Chains A and B, each alone.
Chain A
Amino acid sequence: MLRLFAKTLKTGIISEKIKRPKNDELEQLGIEVKRHIDRYFAGSLAIRAVDAGSCNGCELEIHALNNPLYDVERFGVHFVASPRHADVLLVTGPVSRHMQTALLRTYEATPHPKWVIAAGDCAACGGEFGVSYACCGAVANVIPVDVTIPGCPPTPEVLVKGLLGLMMKK
């Protein structure tokens, strides 16, 4: 037990400061902050991650958001286990056709008001996979998308900025 404490103390607090994104960054991230968003989501954002066919690269970087360097929970961002608890669906992948109905049902199960973030190039535009017999392409081809975060995969920093942008107070 002492070893655990010793290592914890030695490691210290390593969370890094992340600046709220500037306007031009928001534009890059495709975020149009709508006026009423603060009313609903100010201070807290519950996210349901849905992999709709990614190669799992995006999942690795989304996982990194919870590591002690980014620690998104300090911004009130937390990942929840059910779409019924979620404000936001964070969708990755070029929506494989076998996941299309599951994604639609997850979207329907998420209570209003809700936001959809398409994270990664595949979710944003189909990426390397595009539209085919097996993939629907961009998430926007299946459910309405509010924010796109490009990158293959997007780095955790870009992801955090996307999330902070969504919660930004005007």
Chain B
Amino acid sequence: MNDIDWRNNILAQLKDHSLQIDISGKDIEQWRVAAEDWQRLAELAQQQQMRWAAGWAEQHDHRFSVHACLQKQGHYLWLKTSVKGDKPELPSQASVYPAASRSERHTQDMFGIHFQGHPDSRPWVRHQAWHKHQYPLRKDFPLHGEPAEITPPDTDYQFVKARGSGVYEVPVGPVHAGIIEPGHFRFQAVGETVLHLEERLGYVHKGIEKLAEGRDPEGLARLAGRISGDSTVAHSWAACRAMEQAAGLAIPPRAEFIRGILCERERIANHLGDIGAICNDVGFAFAQMQFTRLREQWQRSQADIFGHRLLMDCLVPGGVKTDISAAHCSAMAAELKALRAELDELLPALDLNSSLEDRLLTTGFLSPQTAALYGCVGYVGRSSGQDFDVRRDAPYPPYDRLTVNVALEQQGDVASRFWVRVKEVFASLKLIGQMLQQLPEGDILVSWQQPAEHSEGLAMIDGWRGEIITYVRFAGDNRIGRFYPRDPSLPNWPALERIVLNNIVPDFPVCNKSVNGSYSGHDL
């Protein structure tokens, strides 16, 4: 890693300042930065075109540690700084990286750390469930809080206003007209054209980070599997991997492969559902019916083989819960073939459908520049030219032994996000095929070793929505001291505000579906 230019460039410009670099035996380089250099470092990193990936904080006795994670070409940089406990302040990185904006607002609401120069001073995840000067992730805030009998609605949030003749506002949510998660959207429109969209999320904040504190490893894996139900495998994998790093635990190769199979199965299931749903949002029910049928069949075989339709709780710290027999392997191989045959019949019918093309092409445009600005990941980033995939660029087992094809498109419209999903389904089918062929023999679980106090782990996993970054630190006695999972929805949600601009209000559902951010994973 030492020969990377961007790293030396940053260091050369920072050399007058205090900086401590810790590369001792860690996969990810850690830089301890003085608080006053926090923003300067972000500026230098941005000049080197690094992506701002995640940020979180933690309270220690009389101070806070603040962390940020940046990435370029598969190399991660883990920044740490320390701020004092009374009146904690830190220069904002969001003024440099828009991608850091919501994350810093979250940290401000949860810890009371003030980010100086942040472009948006409004609260984010805090509505009215706790008071302005209460901070749930501080140690003195009890898990049960001091809630009112009925939590009042958050009516004083200062939405951006648009004025002018013919401009009108459409408020939507938090309870939506479909079977989806809750959140609020505020549109300003002229005629049918969207001038501005503002998201107001945080409605499904469940206090996951606080709930995690004090849990044992198994309890944390169970909780991580419920950060976002559609990414249950990916999130529990990230949590398990972070905990295993902290404990210095190597899991059996067979378990790694089964985890890979589970994660690719989850990706296929969700993409199948979304491909149908995108078509349905422009009134093409044929695809919706065919693809929900395929998804249902896929989920049923998951129930048969792994015991759960959505694959919840299949991963446990130290390995996986269910082994797969030779019969399962051949059943899955046959299933891969059957799904490929179905798709070969269905996709030409969709591709040649001119009315579908009419509605999807050029709709919901996200430029590669904007995608890079927000640090978009997964199919949202890849459809706008962001050529990044953790599985290929920072491979973890079993992907270090497999060939990962990354789907990429440049046009950044709904059609691209549709076809990237299609390509990813085929790539995952190929990966599962490879994993079934190379599946090692042996155990699927090793017994857990209690990690040392304060040991920490940081894991990146490519879920179906994209890169998940999970931080875990153990307190003493095998209990979790801090847990922070960064869902891929966090960088992707803000992109939706840009995607819908200049589209018509009735195309919002299909724009939204093509991004399909998780509300639960975003709000935590």
Contact = CB atoms under 8 A, between A and B. Distances in A.
A50 to B, nearest CB: 6
B397 interface: no
Contact of A81 (B152, B177, B203, B227): B177
Nearest to B208: A129
Given A51-B181, A55-B228, A67 B205 contact: no
A81 B346 CA distance: 30
A53 B206 contact: yes
Given A56-B520, A67-B293, A68-B292, A98 B175 contact: no
Nearest to A50: B175
B211 interface: yes
B164 interface: no
Given A53-B206, A56-B518, A132-B210, 7 more contacts: A49-B179, A57-B230, A60-B230, A67-B296, A69-B293, A128-B223, A153-B310
Interface residues of A, number: 55
A162 to B, nearest CB: 16
Interface stretch (B99-107, B138-146, B493-501): B138-146
A7 B345 contact: yes
Nearest to B154: A98
Interface in B409-467: none
Interface string A63-86: 110111100000000010111000
Contacts of B168: none
A23 interface: no
Interface of A: 3-4, 7-8, 10-11, 14, 49-64, 66-69, 79, 81-83, 93-94, 96-102, 104, 106, 127-136, 152-153, 155
B182 interface: yes
A83 B177 CA distance: 9
A57 B312 contact: yes
A68 B232 contact: no
B379 to A, nearest CB: 17
Interface residues of B, number: 65
B202 A98 contact: yes
B259 interface: no
Interface of B: 127-130, 136, 141-147, 150-154, 174-175, 177-182, 202-208, 210-211, 222-223, 226-230, 232, 273, 286, 289-290, 292-293, 295-296, 299, 303, 309-310, 312, 345-346, 348-349, 352-353, 518-520, 523
Contacts of B289: 67-68
A135 B177 CA distance: 23
Contacts of A93: 204
B226 A128 contact: yes
B352 A101 contact: no
Nearest to B276: A67
14 contacts: A3-B352, A54-B229, A55-B520, A59-B180, A60-B229, A64-B295, A102-B175, A127-B226, A128-B223, A131-B144, A132-B144, A133-B142, A133-B144, A133-B207
